[in-house]
Structure 1
C-alpha cells in the first residue's frame, strides 16, 4: 500500500516542471486516497520560459493537513555548503521532526541560521540574475548535447540539470570497449576526458545522463565539447 508520495517539481534529475493542472490533479488524488505528500520545493524559483511553479498545498488547500513542504537556501540562494533547510507542515509533524533532528544531527549552527535569514529576508534580484545565467547555459547545453549523434536531450523547464538519453550509444564500441550501460559509459567518460556525469542508474532510469549547468559558461562549453568529441568516436 502507498502511504506517502514524494513530489519534486521542478525535478531533480530531469528538470521537468509539473503544470498547475497536474499539480492540482495529483493533490486531489492524494486527498481522495488519504495519501500524505512530501513536496520538495528546493528549486521553486528556478523555472524558465513559460513554466510555472505551483505549490501543491496552495493548489489544493484541503491537502494541508497531510502535506509536508521541504525547502532550503542551497539552490535559490547558492548556499549549498551552509546546510540550512526547513519544512512546513502540521504542527505535530513539525514537532516530531524537530525532536528527531535534534537527536540525529544536533542543530544548525547559529552563524548559518543568521546567514539564511538574511537571504530569505532580502529581495530576489540576485536570484533573477542567477536564473538568467542558468537559462542561457541551459539553452547552450541542450543545443550542444542534441548535436551529438546518439544523444537526445529534451529542454528542461526548471532546476539546473539536463537529462539526455544516451540509449542511441548503447551497444556501440568506444575506444576498445562495448558500451553496455549508461553507468559504464559515465565511467568511461570520466576516465577518458575528465567529465563527470551521473548515470541514470542512480535515479532508477538507466540509459540517461544527468548533467548540471550550474557552472561557468566557459567550463560548460569546454566540458560538453570534450564529451561530444569522445562520443563522436562511437561506432
Structure 2
C-alpha cells in the first residue's frame, strides 16, 4: 500500500486516473523527455526474477505556422523553368518537406538530424526547379501528365531523385492537358505532424494573337489576326 507510487520527474506528470497495471499516461511532456522508456517486471522473493523491455520515444515540438511557399511566377510558357522555395519554422525534430503537384508527391527533402540528442529546434528549407516541356509520352487513358513517380501515373518523370550540389531538387513535367497545375509543399514530422502550405495555382500563358497583313487578288490590303 498504496498500490501505485509515482516518483516526481521534472517536466512530466502521471495521470493516475488514466493509468493502471498495463499502461501509464504521462501528460505535459516537453521534448527533453525524449529518450528510451523502460518497463520492468519483477517477481517476488526469494528469486526476484526481473525482465525489462525498452522502446524509444520522441516528444515532437511542431512548428507554429504552416510552411511558406514562394514560386518565381504563377504562369509559364512551354519549355520554361519554374523555381520554388519552401520554408518551415523551427521545430523538434526538424521537419521533412514533401513537394506535391495536384496533391501527388513528386519529391522530398529529408532534414538532417543530429546524431546526438541535443533537443535543439531547427527549421527546414527546400528548393525545387520544375522544367515544363512540350510533351512526354502519354499513357493511354490517363488524363494527366505522362510517366509516373511510383506513387501514381499522372506525372512526368523526375530527372534527378537527389538534390544537386546546390541542394536543389529537379523535376520534369509535361504540359498538363488543362494547361494548369497546383504546386504545394507539406512539412511532416514522423507520423504525428503534417501541415501543408497554401497551393500555388500555376497556369500556362495565354497565346497572344499575331497580326498578319497582305493583299487579296484584287490588290486590296487586308489585315487579320491569328493565334
Instruction: Tell me, yes or no, whether TM beats 0.5.
Output: no
Instruction: Report TM bin, short chain.
Output: under 0.3
**The structure with more radius of gyration:** 2
Structure 1 or 2: more strand by fraction: 2
TM-score of the pair, normalised by structure 1: 0.25
TM-score by length of 2: 0.25
